[in-house]
């Protein structure tokens, strides 16, 4: 099975995805990390040099490529992946999509002084998070098979909730404490 994690920036898609992949014994793919390799520079640098639209093009191309690859995986996406309808269509067609939910206020703590997220390098990050949330929450909801609250909850219990869902789908998991 292909599993994708979607949700707002800084909700923990990469760290939860990496652990989940170990528990499922699936390869882990981080879309942003792969993009950084492909683009040959960091995401903030790419935004600055080429602009957001060029980044979205590269993101959409890579997502389409990955969906065609055979085999199981856990994919951590970038927070803006749901913006393009073609990306949403790929995710729903090829992946079991898990939306890690969080309110902007809960994310604010995690993104303070964050230099790695170009969209949040602004004077008022809370206002920006609220704006992104208002735009994206309906898109995340429409794309997801399942929603898991990931703010104000320990990573361990987020993983447990995800794994309970995956068990009902027949995914075999290693013991949570051993992986
Ligand atoms: C983006 C989120 C980032 C990264 C890029 C754009 C966004 O990923 O893809 O900076 O539009 O929200 P994270 O969700 O891991 O921060």
Tell me the pLDDT tens digit for each residue of 19-43. 999 999 999 999 999 999 999 999 9
79 touches ligand 1 (CB under 6 Å)? yes
Is 121 annotated as belonging to a binding site? no
Is 170 annotated as belonging to a binding site? no
Asked whether residue 150 is domain-assigned, the answer is yes
Asked whether residue 109 is domain-assigned, the answer is yes
85 CA distance to ligand 1 middle (Å)? 17
103 CA distance to ligand 1 middle (Å)? 16
Mutate to test the pocket of ligand 1, among 32, 53, 84 (most ligand atoms within 8 A of CB): 32
Asked whether residue 178 is domain-assigned, the answer is no
Q: Report whether pLDDT(179) > 50.
A: no
Token representation of residue 134: 């208002």
Q: How many domains are contained in the chain?
A: 1
139 touches ligand 1 (CB under 6 Å)? no
- H or E element: which one contains 13? helix 13-24
- pLDDT at 113 (0 to 100): 74
Asked whether residue 18 is domain-assigned, the answer is yes
Tell me the pLDDT tens digit for each residue of 59-70. 999 999 999 999
User: Which of residues 118 and 75 earns the better pLDDT score?
Assistant: 75
In whole angstroms, what is the distance from residue 162 CA to residue 158 CA?
6
Mutate to test the pocket of ligand 1, among 34, 49, 80 (most ligand atoms within 8 A of CB): 80
The mean per-residue pLDDT over the stretch 169-177 comes to 81
Give the pLDDT band of residue 176 (cuts 50, 70, 90). Answer: low
pTM over 0.85: yes
- pLDDT at 98 (0 to 100): 98
Asked whether residue 173 is domain-assigned, the answer is no
Token representation of residue 3: 């599993």
| Strand pairing category for 96-101 and 146-149 | parallel
Helices (H) and strands (E) in the chain, counts: 8, 5
Tell me if 63 sits within 8 A of 90, measured CB to CB.
yes
Tell me the pLDDT tens digit for each residue of 96-106. 999 999 999 99
Q: Which of the 8 DSSP states describes residue 49?
A: H
The mean per-residue pLDDT over the stretch 132-160 comes to 95
In whole angstroms, what is the distance from residue 10 CA to residue 110 CA?
6
Give the pLDDT band of residue 178 (cuts 50, 70, 90). Answer: low
Q: Report whether pLDDT(115) > 90.
A: no
Asked whether residue 21 is domain-assigned, the answer is yes
Is 117 annotated as belonging to a binding site? yes
* CATH code, domain with 48: 3.40.50.300
Is 40 annotated as belonging to a binding site? no
Asked whether residue 76 is domain-assigned, the answer is yes
152 to 75, 107, 157: CA distances (angstroms): 23, 10, 10
Domain that holds residue 87: 2-168
43 touches ligand 1 (CB under 6 Å)? yes
């Amino acid at each position: 099975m292909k599993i994708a994690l979607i949700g707002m920036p800084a909700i923990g898609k990469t760290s939860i995805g990496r652990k989940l992949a170990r528990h499922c014994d699936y390869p882990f793919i981080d879309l942003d990390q792969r993009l950084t390799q492909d683009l040959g520079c960091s995401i903030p640098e790419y935004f600055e040099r080429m602009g957001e639209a060029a980044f979205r093009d590269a993101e959409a191309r890579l997502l389409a490529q990955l969906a065609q690859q055979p085999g199981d995986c856990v994919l951590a996406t970038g927070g803006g992946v749901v913006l393009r309808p073609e990306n949403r269509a790929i995710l729903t067609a090829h992946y079991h999509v898990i939306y890690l939910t969080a309110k902007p206020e809960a994310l604010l703590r995690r993104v303070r002084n964050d230099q790695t997220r170009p969209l949040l390098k602004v004077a008022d990050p809370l206002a920006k998070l609220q704006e992104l949330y208002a735009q994206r929450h309906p898109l995340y909801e429409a794309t997801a098979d399942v929603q898991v609250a990931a703010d104000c909850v320990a990573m361990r219990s987020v993983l447990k909730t995800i794994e309970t869902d995956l068990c009902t789908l027949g995914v075999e998991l290693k013991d949570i404490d051993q992986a």
